[in-house]
Amino acid sequence: MVREYIKGLKCRECGREYPLNPINICEYCFGPLEVNYNYDLIGEDVTRDKIMGGPNTLWRYKKLLPVSGNKIIDISAGFTPLIKAENLGRVVGIRELYLKNDSVNPTFSFKDRVVSVAISKAIEFGFDTVACPSTGNLANSVAAHAARAGLNCYIFIPSNLESGKIINTQIYNPNLVMVDGNYDDINRLCSEIADNYKWAFVNINIRPYYSEGSKTLGYEVAEQLNWETPDRVVVPVASGSLLTKIYKGFSEFQNLGLIDKFETKFTAAQALGCSPVVDAFNQGVDTIKPVKPNTIAKSLAIGNPADGYYAINVLQMTKGSAGAVTDEEIVEGIKLLARTEGIFTEPAGGVVVGTLKKLVEEGRIEKDERTVIYITGNGLKTQEVVANVLAKPYRIDPTIESFEENVMSVKE
Ligand SMILES: *Cc1c(COP(=O)(O)O)cnc(C)c1O
Ligand SMILES: [Zn+2]
């Protein structure tokens, strides 16, 4: 018998096991399914040296990802920079602050990680059509990876999305469906479509595989900190999957002996206009009250988060914290990151920077904690949120006199 790295799928709630199929929900208890690995076997084969000798993409962790076929759709997602943020650290008062800059992925958000895994898995399953409901970044990434893979592609987005996110999807030429409804409406619609068409919906029937891609944001930070974990991570939350999987990434590294026992505290960051996970955690409950999103942080605007319960569990287990910020604070966060570190992020990054600042001020993140903040998306896609709040440029004629009169002699 061949000894496989992956045993199958397993229900997170009742533990019932399933074969590796494109399914995501337990038939018995409706719990979410998760990939079940053979860690003993993986442990015999995975070492720091082997990882460091791998490609400079998330596929350096292939043995810990649920893809066994050889056809990998890799447009170079992952292995993004971890940057020491001394200027921002000084402003917010954190001695050792790093930012994981995932805004420089191929389609400029962390979604390239989950999609690279999901589309590779969909091909392994034999699908010829991939699809997703999306708040924007996922749309960009699925369309790009489908183009590379030569698959048919259907993308469903809210019709009020930022134009940058629409164009960054259209350019890859998918079937783009704009829906007059919010993300939660579209997600429901897509679940119905998934029942009727043999398509790989990356974040529905392929979700158990897709979400594993997020673990690499835990692995990379540990590897880039020289096989150590930070004292604190600040993570933006939409469905809650990313936060949950960063925790899983650290846990797996620990259990495989690649890092020491980790004690990282997790902080969830949301927009006040859509903060169901933060609210539940701060009220001390683990049941989520769905909300109707109203925020400029559209990539985080999921009012009924699928993994919210598990994200809250991670916050509780790690004695973490949670914070939410207003749209004004999000814009301030975007500007602050740009001014201090030279990185232009989208509202999700503004949420993270704003929440960091707020929680440090409130003493809920300590100044001497080695902290990593996750910057998950790029500001070039959402220029409208800052276009009206920037300093005006000078305007001159092409002469030295005009330059001196209108620029050099203007005193603030
Ligand atoms: C999707 C997304 C997230 C969070 O995703 P989860 O659904 O919580 O896994 C964070 N930042 C950006 C920019 C995103 O697009
Ligand atoms: Zn179950």
Q: Give the ligand at the shortest distance from the Cα of 16.
A: 2
Mean pLDDT across 294-312: 95
CA of 77 to the centre of ligand 2 (A): 32
Q: Give pLDDT, residue 143.
A: 98
Each residue's pLDDT tens digit, 80-104: 999 999 999 999 999 999 999 999 9
Least confident of 68-72, 227-231, 308-312, 350-354: 68-72
Beta-bridge mates of residue 325: 271
Interaxial angle between packed helices 137-149 and 163-170, expressed in degrees from 0 to 180 and rounded to the nearest 10: 10
Mean pLDDT confidence for 322-344: 98
Q: Point out the ligand 1 atom lying closest to the alpha carbon of residue 214.
A: 9
What distance in Å separates the CA atoms of residue 208 and residue 22, rounded to the nearest whole number? 8
In this structure, which residue's CA is closest to atom 3 in ligand 1? 238
259 CA from centroid of ligand 1 (Å): 26
Is 118 a domain residue? no
Q: How many CB atoms lie within 10 A of CB 249?
A: 23
Q: Are residues 94 and 21 in the same domain?
A: no
**Which residue bears the tokens 């301030």?**
332
Per-residue pLDDT, 235:
98
Which residues are bridge partners to 379 per DSSP?
none
In this predicted structure, the answer to whether residue 2 has a pLDDT above a threshold of 60 is no
CA of 31 to the centre of ligand 2 (A): 5
Distance (Å) from CA 249 to ligand 2 centroid = 23
Query: Residue 283's Cα: distance from chain center in Å?
Result: 25
Q: Would residue 375 count as lying in a domain?
A: yes
DSSP 326: -
214-221 mean pLDDT: 98
C-alpha distances (whole Å) from 219 to each of 59, 248, 254, 321 are 11, 9, 10, 22
* Span 3-36, pLDDT tens digits: 689 999 999 999 999 999 999 999 999 999 999 9
Rg of the chain (C-alpha set): 21
Who lines ligand 1 at CB under 6 A? 109-111, 137, 236-242, 299-300, 348, 376-377
- Say yes or no to pLDDT of 1 above 50: no
- In angstroms, how far is the first alpha carbon of the chain from the final one? 77
CA–CA gap between residue 132 and residue 323 (Å, rounded): 29
Q: Which one is predicted more confidently, 108 or 135?
A: 108
Same domain, 12 and 101: no
CA gap 165, 168 in Å, rounded: 5
Is the domain of 324 the same as that of 253?
yes
What's the CA gap between 101 and 187, in Å, rounded? 28
Instruction: State the distance from the centre of ligand 2 to the C-alpha of 35, rounded, in angstroms.
Output: 13
Model confidence at 364: pLDDT above 90: yes
Q: Look up the CATH number of the domain holding residue 220.
A: 3.40.50.1100
Query: Which stretches within 84-236 are classed as H helix?
Result: 86-92, 111-125, 137-149, 163-170, 183-196, 207-210, 216-224
State in Å: Cα 141 to ligand 2 middle.
Answer: 31
How confident is the model at residue 411, as a pLDDT? 64
Q: 184 falls in which pLDDT band (50, 70, 90)?
A: confident
- For residue 173, what pLDDT is reported? 97
Mutate-to-test residue for ligand 1 from 102, 117, 137, 161, highest number of ligand atoms within 8 A of CB = 137
Residue 60's identity, in one-letter code, is: R
In-domain check, residue 281: yes
Q: Is residue 279 part of a domain?
A: yes
pLDDT of residue 208: 97
| 337 residue type, one letter | L
Q: What is the DSSP string of 369-397?
A: S-EEEEE-BBGGGGGGGTGGGSPPPP---
Q: Which residues of 85-107 are buried (b: 16+ CB within 10 A; e: fewer)?
A: beebbebbebebbbbbbbbebbb
Nearest protein Cα to ligand 1, atom 10: 236
Predicted confidence (pLDDT) at residue 412 exceeds the cutoff of 80: no
Nearest 10 degrees: Cα torsion 12, 220, 119, 1: -60
pLDDT of residue 286: 84
Alpha-carbon gap, residue 174 to 129, rounded angstroms = 11
Residue 1 domain-assigned (yes or no): no
**Mean pLDDT on 196-211:** 97
Coil/strand/helix, residue 188: helix
In the reported structure, the alpha carbon of residue 345 is separated from the centroid of ligand 1 by a whole-number distance in angstroms of 13
| Pair 346, 254 in one domain | yes
pLDDT given for residue 162 in this prediction: 86
Q: Is residue 220 part of a domain?
A: yes
* 262 plus 329 within the same structural domain: yes
Q: Which atom of ligand 1 is nearest to the CA of 236?
A: 10
Residues 318 and 226 in one domain: yes
Measured from the alpha carbon of residue 34, the closest ligand is: 2
Residue 114 CA: nearest ligand 1 atom is 9
Half-sphere exposure of 86 (CA within 13 A, CB side): 0
pLDDT digits (tens, 9 = 90+) for 229-267: 999 999 999 999 999 999 999 999 999 999 999 999 999
CA distances from 367 to 73, 230, 232, 270, 329 (A): 41, 13, 11, 21, 20
Count structural domains, the chain: 2
Nearest in space to 302 (alpha carbons), one of 215, 242, 379, 214: 242
Domain that holds residue 264: 82-108+213-385
What count of Cα atoms within 13 Å lies in the side-chain half-sphere of residue 16?
A: 11
Domain identity same for 276 and 339:
yes
In a domain, 104, yes or no: yes
Q: Tell which one of 184, 299, 345 to mutate to probe ligand 1, the residue whose CB is within 8 A of the most ligand atoms.
A: 299
Tell me what the pLDDT averaged over the chain comes to: 96
Determine the Cα–Cα distance for residues 381 and 385; give it in Å rounded to an integer.
10
pLDDT cut 70: percent of the chain above it: 99
Point out the ligand nearest to the CA of residue 30.
Answer: 2
- Same domain flag for 245 and 335: yes
Determine the distance separating the centroid of ligand 1 and the alpha carbon of 377, expressed in angstroms. 8
Contact yes or no for 273/155 (Cβ under 8 A): no
Q: What is the pLDDT of residues 274-287, one digit of tens each?
A: 999 999 999 999 89
Mark whether 28 and 92 lie in a shared domain. no
Report residue 71 as tokens.
Answer: 């056809």
- Ligand nearest the Cα atom of residue 243: 1
Q: Which residues have CB under 8 Å from 385's CB, separation 6+?
A: 162, 296, 330, 331, 334, 346, 347
Return the ligand 1 atom nearest residue 311 CA.
8
Those residues whose C-beta lies under 8 Å from the C-beta of residue 203, and which sit 6 or more positions away, are 114, 118, 132, 133, 138, 210
Please tell me whether residues 339 and 245 are part of one structural domain: yes
Residue 275 CA, ligand 2 centroid: distance in Å: 28
Considering every ligand atom, which ligand is closest to the CA of 211? 1
- Please tell me the pTM assigned to this model: 0.96
Q: 372 in a domain, yes or no?
A: yes
